[in-house]
Structure formats: structure tokens, C-alpha cells
């Protein structure tokens, strides 16, 4: 399943947002950093310091040739992103993983040169499944729902008599969701195996599904629908495949409806709530707590949450004069621009192209921004503090060697030195991920070191292990 979703507006390369109906191509909004105010039993107001998370940001499609623009629309729970790259001859979907060697473009469906990836259930390598749509124009003409299995495109089935369709999300059970047809004839569907099934179950007041945007691994589907008693009202629809039941999430105070864009494996639903077709406000919904507003970033007036992970962290985009992508961690809302290095070259706050569309269970965030003046897909990876880098210095026969090593760069004010133990092992503690460090082994009278210097960027896993080979003099 993917924790994201821009899915229906796949072929739009415009601004953002969620205001009303299900126009196929809407971008979303928002974010900012805030401090919390708490009170003790004596009603004494204190300010608690909120420490924002820190991120490194990456352009995730530079290895694909001929790209004029790129957008990221989703990321799997494990952190594999998908979206589209636009070239002079069309558009293709891509897959990107932090540890899988960069982005790979996948072929288009035959006869349709404009494809987009909306969701992925890939787990590390590019051997999983991505879903999206392929069309004859960038704007979605004659679009068909498509799944890419290990990078190979296969059209998903359409119900009898239907000729248009989208795939917006997919879960671990390989059930995809989306819609068929368009306009007043648009209907929500789910795709399983060789079958496409209309989601025809209505809520207690007769509201019915028109578009399915998300599905989690429990086969709960979310999207939007129409209230036959008030066609101006957006209905935030929820459908459980197993029980064949449907209900709506309600609305925020002052609103009368909602658009549901994503559901996580923790059961959280996110989207935007609005009055009729007016501007929306981002929300997060749970079975136990109902609908709760996500605070808007300072200086913005409307927004939409587009993706949520298992822990309930959500991302989306708010708007003022510009698009402001945001992160909500369950307590505070942060502008993404404030969470990345100041000299990154990325603009996520003074343009109308930026968005935040996906968040993984490891809190990777993906979306679209402006990088050195060009529209590009990004991935933001959390910086983790107090990680270690270590390894062993040994001969080819496996005998540990006494040696002195130095680490420098990154966020270190001064280099640190470590001595190997009796078995040749060394370790540096107190480092940070997503920052480049250089490790150097000092010369020895007894040994030479073919590769005495290494520069590396640490990850949050347990693979920060760098050994050095020692050859006798």
C-alpha cells in the first residue's frame, strides 16, 4: 500500500488543491512549525519547546535522461517512491528507493505515451507493483488503469462497457482502487486479479462512491462521493470490502462534507473538509476520535492532507499566494521548507508547483518542488542523530590489525579519532544520518592500506559497517 495519494489528478501539471469536485487533477497543500502551549493544574501557562524533525532532501530522478520535469505522487510503506518524468516525447512512471541505486523509468503501455505512477507496494528492490494510468496526452485523454509488475505494464480490467479508468492506490494484497468513466458518469471501482468491481454500496442516506483514492492492507477503501439529496456537498466515503458496508467521515465544524484522499495501515484517514464546493481545510480521522482538524501553516487559509502513514503522520499542501507543503506529526504542523537545509537549492514555499504527496512508515516524504529553477520530484529523508559507524581493519587472512582511524566532515566541528581493539574493530558514535563523513586510516610501519580513505553518507539502519584491508609491508 502506499501512504499517499494524489491519484486522481494524475495528468494535471498545474497548481494544487482541493476545493471541490473531483476534477481529475488537483494538487494539495500546507505546513508550518508551531510551539505548543500547555497548562498545569495551577493554570500557569508555559511554553514547551517543540523540536522539529530534520530532513535531507534529494532530487530523485537525475539519473533518467531527457527529463524536462518530474513529479512524485506516492511512496510505499517501505520507502519506494513513484510518480512520473516528463520528456519531449511523453511521460513515464519511475521507481526510486533510498538504497536501490536511484530512480528507474518503466515502459509505457502500448499506444499510450503519457503514463503516471500513483502508488507502490514495492519493498526495497523494483520487483513489486506500482499502479497508475496511461493516456494519449499529458492531460489524461483516453486514460486506462495500469499496473506495473516488476516494471512491466499491464492494463487493469475495465467493467463491461467502460473505456476509461484510473488506478490510484494498491495494497499488499494486490487490490487496486480507482475509478472508471468521468464527469457525472464517474464511478469508483476496485481491481482484483482479472476483475474490476464497482463500489456500489451506499451510506445510510444513499450517498454513493464516485472515486476511490486509497486502500489499506485491511481492505478499507476511502474516496469521495455524492449525496443525492445535496449534489453540492462532497461526501468523504469509506467502504469495507470484506463486510460490503459504507459510511462517511463527516465534516469539520462549519463544513458539511469532505474529500478523503488517503488511509494508512493504522486506520487514519486524511483529506480536506469544506462547505459545499468551497475551500477545504486538512483533517485526520480515526474510528475512535472522529475527525480532527490539522492546523494550517502560518499565512495560509486552506489546505488538504494527501497521505498518512501507519503512525498517523500526515503530509499535504496548503495555499496562500503559493503552495506550502507541510508535515503533521500528530501534534504540530511544519512547513517542509523549514525542515530541509537552508542551502539545498530547493524551493518549497514560493511557487505554485510544490506539493507533498506521500509519507512512508520510515517518515520519508515525497512530492514535487522547484530545484534550481526546475520542477522536480523530491524525497525527504529524516536525519537521525546518534548513529554509529564502525568496522574492522584486517589482513586478507582475517587477522585483526592495530590501527588509528579519523572521521571528519559532516556536522563535526573537529575530527574524531578511534583506535582499533585487539581484534581490529573500531567504532565512531554520536554521528548523524544523511550527512557525508570521511573516514581515514593512518599510515602504518607494518601495513599498507589500498583504500585508506572513504567518504560515506550514513543511513538509519545497521549497515554502517566499513572495513579496511591491510597488506603487510
Highest mean pLDDT among 10-14, 16-20, 37-41, 363-367: 363-367
Per the structure block, which three cell numbers stand in for 282?
Answer: 486538512
385-472 is classed in which CATH architecture? Answer: Sandwich (2.60)
Q: Residue 6: pLDDT above 70?
A: no
For 434-473, how does the pLDDT look when each residue is reduced to its tens digit (9 = 90+)?
889 999 999 999 999 999 999 998 887 666 888 999 999 8
| Mean pLDDT value of segment 73-97 | 95
Residues 351 and 322: beta-carbon distance below 8 Å: yes
CA 40 to chain centre: 37
Closest C-alpha to 84, from 9, 190, 1 = 9
pLDDT at 7 over 90: no
**Angle made by CA atoms 326, 331, 335, in degrees to the nearest 5:** 20
Per the listing, cell 514547551 goes with 48
Taking the C-alpha atoms of residue 120 and residue 77, their distance in angstroms, rounded to an integer, is 9
Of 126, 103, 54, 75, the C-alpha closest to 460 is 54
Q: Are 39 and 253 in contact (CB under 8 A)?
A: no
Domain boundaries defined on the chain: 7-382, 385-472
How far is Cα 63 from Cα 39, in angstroms, rounded to an integer? 52
Whether 291 has a pLDDT exceeding 90, the answer reads: yes
Task: Record the pTM.
Answer: 0.84
Cell representation of residue 348: 518549497
Count of alpha carbons within 13 Å of 137, Cβ hemisphere only?
Answer: 6
Cα–Cα distance, 120 to 364 (Å, whole number)? 14
Comparison of pLDDT for 151 and 261, the residue scoring more: 261
pLDDT bin (cut points 50, 70, 90) of residue 125 is very low
Say whether domain 7-382 belongs to CATH 3.30.465.10: no
d(CA 193, CA 368): 32
- Pick the residue with more confidence: 39 or 385? 385
Query: For position 36, what pLDDT does the model report?
Result: 30
pLDDT digit string, tens, across residues 405-429: 999 998 899 999 999 999 999 999 9
pLDDT tens profile 322-356 = 999 999 999 999 999 999 999 999 999 999 999 99
The DSSP bridge partners found for residue 92 are 85
Amino acid at each position: 500500500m502506499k501512504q499517499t495519494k494524489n491519484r486522481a489528478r494524475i495528468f494535471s501539471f498545474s497548481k494544487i488543491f482541493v476545493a471541490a469536485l473531483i476534477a481529475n487533477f488537483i494538487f494539495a497543500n500546507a505546513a508550518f512549525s508551531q510551539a505548543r502551549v500547555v497548562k498545569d493544574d495551577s493554570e500557569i501557562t508555559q511554553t514547551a519547546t517543540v523540536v522539529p524533525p530534520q530532513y535531507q532532501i534529494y532530487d530523485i530522478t537525475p539519473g533518467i535522461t531527457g527529463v524536462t520535469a518530474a513529479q512524485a505522487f506516492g511512496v510505499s510503506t517501505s520507502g519506494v517512491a513513484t510518480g512520473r518524468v516528463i520528456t519531449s516525447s511523453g511521460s513515464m512512471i519511475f521507481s526510486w528507493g533510498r538504497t536501490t541505486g536511484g530512480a528507474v523509468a518503466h515502459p509505457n503501455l502500448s499506444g499510450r505515451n503519457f503514463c503516471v505512477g500513483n502508488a507502490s507496494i514495492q519493498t526495497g528492490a523494483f520487483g513489486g507493483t506500482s499502479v497508475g494510468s496511461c493516456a494519449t496526452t499529458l492531460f489524461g485523454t483516453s486514460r486506462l488503469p495500469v499496473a506495473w509488475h516488476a516494471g512491466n505494464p499491464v492494463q487493469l480490467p475495465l467493467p463491461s462497457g467502460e473505456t476509461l479508468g484510473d488506478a490510484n492506490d494498491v495494497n499488499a494484497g494486490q487490490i487496486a482502487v480507482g475509478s472508471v468513466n468521468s464527469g457525472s458518469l464517474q464511478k469508483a471501482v476496485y481491481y482484483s486479479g482479472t476483475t474490476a468491481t464497482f463500489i456500489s454500496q451506499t451510506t445510510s442516506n444513499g450517498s454513493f462512491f464516485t472515486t476511490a483514492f486509497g486502500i489499506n492492507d485491511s481492505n478499507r477503501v476511502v474516496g469521495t462521493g455524492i449525496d443525492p439529496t445535496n449534489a453540492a456537498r462532497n461526501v468523504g466515503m469509506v467502504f469495507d470490502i470484506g463486510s460490503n458496508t459504507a459510511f462517511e467521515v463527516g465534516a469539520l465544524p462549519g463544513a458539511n462534507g469532505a474529500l478523503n484522499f488517503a488511509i494508512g495501515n493504522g486506520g487514519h484517514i486524511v483529506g480536506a473538509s469544506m462547505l459545499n464546493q468551497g475551500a477545504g481545510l486538512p483533517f485526520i480521522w480515526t474510528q475512535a476520535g472522529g475527525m480532527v482538524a490539522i492546523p494550517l501553516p502560518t499565512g495560509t487559509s486552506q489546505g488538504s492532507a494527501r497521505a498518512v502513514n501507519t503512525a498517523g503522520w500526515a503530509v499535504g499542501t496548503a495555499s496562500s499566494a503559493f503552495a506550502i507543503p507541510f508535515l503533521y506529526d500528530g501534534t504540530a504542523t511544519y512547513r517542509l521548507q523549514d525542515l530541509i537545509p537552508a542551502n539545498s537549492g530547493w524551493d518549497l514555499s514560493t511557487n505554485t508547483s510544490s506539493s507533498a504527496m506521500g509519507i512512508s512508515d520510515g517518515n520519508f516524504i515525497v512530492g514535487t518542488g522547484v530545484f534550481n529553477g526546475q520542477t522536480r520530484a523530491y524525497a525527504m529523508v529524516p536525519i537521525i542523530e546518534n548513529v554509529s559507524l564502525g568496522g574492522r581493519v584486517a589482513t586478507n587472512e582475517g587477522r585483526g590489525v592495530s590501527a588509528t582511524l579519523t572521521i571528519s566532515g559532516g556536522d563535526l566541528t573537529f575530527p574524531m579519532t578511534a583506535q582499533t581493539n585487539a581484534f581490529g574493530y573500531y567504532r565512531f558514535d554520536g554521528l548523524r544520518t544523511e550527512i557525508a563523513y570521511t573516514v581515514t586510516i593512518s599510515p602504518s610501519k607494518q601495513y599498507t592500506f589500498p583504500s585508506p580513505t572513504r567518504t560515506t553518507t550514513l543511513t538509519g539502519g545497521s549497515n554502517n559497517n566499513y572495513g579496511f584491508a591491510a597488506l603487510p609491508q
